[in-house]
Chains A and B, each alone.
Chain A
Amino acid sequence: MKREKIISVVLAMVAMSGIAGLALITAYIFKEGLPIIVRVGLKDFLLSGDWHPLEGKFGIFSWIVGSLAVTLGAMIIGGLLGLSCAVVLTQFCPRRLVVVLKPAIELLAGIPSVVYGFMGVMILVPWIRQHLGGPGLSVLAAAVVLGIMVLPTVTSISMDALRAVPRSYRDGSIALGATGWQTTHMVILKAAKSGIMASLILGMGRAIGETMAVIMVAGNTLDLPHGILDPVRTLTSNIALEMSYASGDHRKALFATGVVLFVIIMILNSIALAVSSKRARKAGVR
């Protein structure tokens, strides 16, 4: 009994130090970043595209647009592919194939991002340059690379949601004369909607936070992109590119960029949590 207590104390301590670390990081980011946002003004900081840190101009609008454009593209590619994978693997695929395919897709999540970036630079970027024009380093390249990177997240969480739909729904639908595809898109996908949403939002969080692969394929210009073949810089790559150089206000502005990212990701994760707890509650009522 006593031993049990000691072990639980030790475990609680370990868990708490993790949380304390997180709290300290959060506090530090805000402490470093907030003053400059206040000084520049939230509106100017977020909505001005003028980034000349040496002249005291800190406007991160271009990076916000860049991050959103790249993430949106990644979600269109990765979301569609991931959801399709999940539907095929849970509804239409023979079990023997699923046993091979599911781990294969999940393995994609284990590949380091720099490898994706490298593949992008060596294969995708030259392909875009030759066939579609522009410098190759572009929103499109970043979106494709990120789309593949979010695929495992979207697929595996959507699969869980689709599997959680009770068998009786499917049987009932088939009994009413619906075909397999009608059942899938009118009954199963609807029933698993909140879980699928959660998977997309978590995937989005991964896409918006990815840095290394994006730096390698996005081109990192200061300009606002005007099309999907234009190069772009994202919030994360701006921090990574300039942190080694930044000092004083410039450094603080990078922390402030971190604050903006932090808030965006917090919002995304809270939505994901809210959506999936709604699902859990619904399941509980049933």
Chain B
Amino acid sequence: MDWSLKRLWLVFCLAVALVLVMVCPGCKNRSRRAVSVVGSTSIQPFAELLAGEFHKKAPDIEIDVQGGGSTAGIQALATGIADIGTCSRSLSTEEAALYKGIVIARDGLAVVVHQSNPINGLTRQQIQDIFSGKITNWRDVGGPDMVVRPVSREEGSGTREAFTKLVMDNVLVASSALTQESNGAVKELVRGDPGAIGYMSLGLSGGIKCLSIDGVVPSASTVASGQYPLVRPFLFVVKGAPRPEAQRFIDFVLSSQGQRLLESEGLVKVQ
């Protein structure tokens, strides 16, 4: 085989490859596909539960639940990958202009410490000082002489944004804070480290020590009554009018059955 022929082939093949690459994005637009629910890792376990229940009622509709983070959910919604974005914080003003947020439940933000930690409660100011790096020893808040290790979440996490808004009040989280990328990872870390303090969804905080905030013990009833100060909404976010299948799922979540399910899992239903 001579060189020119080889070269011709190469060009030809490259062209074919390019065409393949160009055409591929078009394959995604299948007409019948599962309702895709993408976003907050805090909402994910609840959405999976709801999807399972819903699938029993409407076996013809598949619900596909994914995590990734609240902001990722909204981005997936913007690019059309998701039918419903889940978001565990309030929408920003720009987001609120583009999308509609439907509150499906309310969730407390639990501040969690190791089982052996004698501290039972902190004020919001103390928590802010701990996470901003001003307080570095448990001694300073009445605990044992032990280094405090704040555990934060990655940027873009709805839990982090809710925490920043409700507790930090525009004070930056210290750059020395450990960063974990899910509620589960925060829980696992705090459960193993006697000096750690973290924050996570109250609905997922079973089996770990939660602190009372400003003297209020976190529980479904104090969240519902509005006494517990760290409460955030769980949102389903949609762009325009969702597909009928997606709308049926949203209706199910807001129905008394869906709400009861969320309540039994430790969330607070919307009135």
Contact = CB atoms under 8 A, between A and B. Distances in A.
Interface string A6-37: 00010011011101110010000000000000
Given A17-B13, A20-B18, A247-B75, A231 B178 contact: yes
Interface in B108-135: none
Interface in B44-80: 68-69, 71-72, 75
Interface string A238-273: 001110111100000000000000000000000000
A221 B9 CA distance: 51
Interface string B185-202: 100110011011000000
A246 B71 CA distance: 8
A244 B189 contact: no
**Residue among B17, B71, B75 with max Cβ neighbours from chain A (10 Å):** B17
A122 to B, nearest CB: 8
Contacts, number: 87
Contact of B9 (A9, A53, A241): A9
Interface string B6-24: 0001101110111011000
B interface, size bucket: 20 to 34
A222 interface: yes
A242 B17 contact: no
Closest 5 CB pairs of A and B: A245-B156, A16-B13, A20-B17, A244-B72, A17-B17
Interface stretch (A129-137, A150-158, A189-197): A129-137
B255 interface: no
A interface, size bucket: 20 to 34
Contacts of B179: 219-222, 233, 241
Given A126-B192, A135-B193, 18 more contacts: A12-B13, A13-B13, A17-B13, A17-B16, A19-B17, A20-B13, A24-B21, A129-B192, A136-B192, A137-B178, A137-B189, A219-B179, A221-B179, A222-B175, A233-B179, A241-B155, A241-B181, A242-B154
